[in-house]
Amino acid sequence: MILMSEEVKKLVKTSITLTKDLWEQAKIIALKQGLTLTEVIQAALKKYLEILEKERKGT
């Protein structure tokens, strides 16, 4: 995932706490996919939010 300069300006740095198991699973996926851990977590969170929005709309 390559971020455009406009997207980079919109980034917010934060800290989260994960279980070791969840962190390891995400890290393994990142390594296998050639992605950063940040990219994996961003993609997962985006998908989760999309699902919630669909449920909210009743579709």
Q: What is the pLDDT of residue 5?
A: 61
Question: Rounded to whole angstroms, how far apart are CA atoms 23 and 27?
Answer: 6
Q: How far, rounded to the nearest angstrom, does the alpha carbon of residue 57 sit from its chain's CA centroid?
A: 23
- pTM score > 0.85 for this model? no
Question: Rounded to whole angstroms, how far apart are CA atoms 34 and 52?
Answer: 28
35, 28 Cβ separation under 8 angstroms: no
Mean residue pLDDT of the chain comes to 90
Domain boundaries, the chain: 16-57
Q: Strands (DSSP E) along the chain, which ranges?
A: none
Residue 9 has pLDDT above 90, yes or no: no
**How confident is residue 10, by pLDDT bands cut at 50, 70 and 90?**
confident
